[in-house]
Amino acid sequence: MPFIYHYLKDFPAGLANLDSDGELAGMYLKTGRVTCLSKEKRDHVIEFREIDRHNFFEVIDLKVAEEQKHFVAPNVFSLAQAKAFPECICLAIYHGDVLVGFTMYCMDYDDKEYWIYRLLIDAKHQSKGYGKAAMEKLIERIKQDQEHKVIYLSFEPENNPAKGLYKKLGFEADGRVIDGEIVYKLVY
């Protein structure tokens, strides 16, 4: 067992998160934020689940921070939109058994291209790498369709955290602004 396990095993529960091999998967501060979580560990623990009667109310209760509310539609609106636009696929984002977020994507009815319409990580789960991990997993899911080679998304111009994340993932501005939102694309 690694040395770090012997050092951390006596710490209060929740301070260190060790995986089954005794490897450090996450270190928690008093705020509960993960300060180290490798890509491999994030990918291993993030999973998409369908939204059903068992998690519906939890999904609609997910909220972003107050200052972010104008950047993303409430999940109840997105779920209603998906009912009216059946091409939209809504997924709950889980870290283990904990619901941390929501995403919605689709093959757009008008342009026949993939669009990521929503990504919402609950305020209490932000800054832990879940948004990036969910985007990476969603991109890989969309890439399974070999007939398409581009993914679009859009965001409010003042949403700098989203812009930074999307750029890190390889998205670039495509020159359009739709309904006041900047359109980015990922060509693969």
**CATH code of the domain in which 131 resides:** 3.40.630.30
Instruction: Output the six-digit token pair for 182.
Output: 């900047």
Answer whether residue 41 is part of any domain.
Answer: no
- In tens, the pLDDT along 20-39 reads 333 334 433 334 444 445 55
- pLDDT of 116 over the 90 cut: yes
* Rounded Cα gap, residues 106 and 85, in angstroms: 9
Answer whether residue 112 is part of any domain.
Answer: yes
- Strand, coil or helix: what is 15? coil
Answer whether residue 56 is part of any domain.
Answer: yes
- In tens, the pLDDT along 81-112 reads 999 999 999 999 999 999 999 999 999 999 99
Q: Say whether both 169 and 134 belong to one domain.
A: yes
Answer whether residue 21 is part of any domain.
Answer: yes
Q: Say whether both 11 and 78 belong to one domain.
A: no
- Exposed/middle/buried for 118, CB within 10 Å: 0-12, 13-18, 19+? buried
- In tens, the pLDDT along 33-77 reads 444 455 545 445 899 999 999 999 999 999 999 999 999 999 999
- Residue 45: per-residue pLDDT: 82
pTM of the complete model: 0.76
Q: Domain range spanning residue 9?
A: 1-36
Instruction: Output the six-digit token pair for 124.
Output: 């209490």
- pLDDT of 162 over the 50 cut: yes
Inter-axis angle of helices 130-143 and 160-168, nearest 10: 50
Q: Say whether both 50 and 25 belong to one domain.
A: no
- Residue 85: per-residue pLDDT: 97
According to DSSP, residue 123 is labeled: G
Q: Say whether both 76 and 144 belong to one domain.
A: yes
Q: Say whether both 30 and 52 belong to one domain.
A: no
Q: Say whether both 69 and 161 belong to one domain.
A: yes
- pLDDT of 16 over the 60 cut: no
Q: Say whether both 102 and 131 belong to one domain.
A: yes
Which pLDDT band holds residue 12 (cuts at 50, 70, 90)? Answer: very low
| Cβ–Cβ < 8 Å for 76, 50 | no
Q: Which residues contact 83 (CB under 8 A, 6 or more apart)?
A: none
Q: Say whether both 68 and 145 belong to one domain.
A: yes
1-10, 43-52, 63-72, 117-126: range with lowest mean pLDDT:
1-10
Q: Say whether both 68 and 123 belong to one domain.
A: yes
Q: Say whether both 20 and 60 belong to one domain.
A: no
| Cβ–Cβ < 8 Å for 117, 142 | no
Instruction: Output the six-digit token pair for 57.
Output: 């109310």
Q: Say whether both 157 and 76 belong to one domain.
A: yes
Q: Domain count for the chain, please give it.
A: 2
